[in-house]
Amino acid sequence: AQSVAQPEDQVNVAEGNPLTVKCTYSVSGNPYLFWYVQYPNRGLQFLLKYITGDNLVKGSYGFEAEFNKSQTSFHLKKPSALVSDSALYFCAVRDRKAGSYQLTFGKGTKLSVIP
């Protein structure tokens, strides 16, 4: 079984400050890891993914995430937050096992960037 934990329901950060949204995962094999963002009344939008290689992956809108295998974490980061980054963020995991295409999502973290 695979699972994702996002320990913070809400993260508040001042505009211009760095932000971190936490994610830890559990999977039997090696993972594919994803971050998605959801704006109000909009569908999920892909931000970035970890497949293999460099532990630091860069994605859309200046976001990046760091894969840490020993801590089974994949935290989302941005050096300088914008008010427009305020949204709901979801971490997701998929097992690398062949034939496994099911994404398991965390509960989501609401990010509020305060002007």
Partner 1 sequence: GAGVSQTPSNKVTEKGKYVELRCDPISGHTALYWYRQSLGQGPEFLIYFQGTGAADDSGLPNDRFFAVRPEGSVSTLKIQRTERGDSAVYLCASSLTFRGTENTEAFFGQGTRLTVV
- Residues making contact with partner 1 (CB under 8 A): 4, 32, 34, 36, 41-46, 49, 51, 90, 92, 94, 96, 98-108
Plot region of 51 (φ>0 → left; ψ -120 to 50 → alpha; else → beta): alpha
How far apart are CB 9 and partner 1 at their closest, in Å?
9
How far apart are CB 80 and partner 1 at their closest, in Å?
25
**16 or 45, CB closer to partner 1?**
45
How far apart are CB 23 and partner 1 at their closest, in Å?
11
**15 or 110, CB closer to partner 1?**
110
How far apart are CB 76 and partner 1 at their closest, in Å?
14
**86 or 104, CB closer to partner 1?**
104
Q: Parallel, antiparallel, or unpaired: how do β-strands 24-26 and 3-5 relate? A: antiparallel
* Spatial distance between the Cα atoms of 40 and 24, rounded to a whole number of angstroms: 25
**51 or 56, CB closer to partner 1?**
51
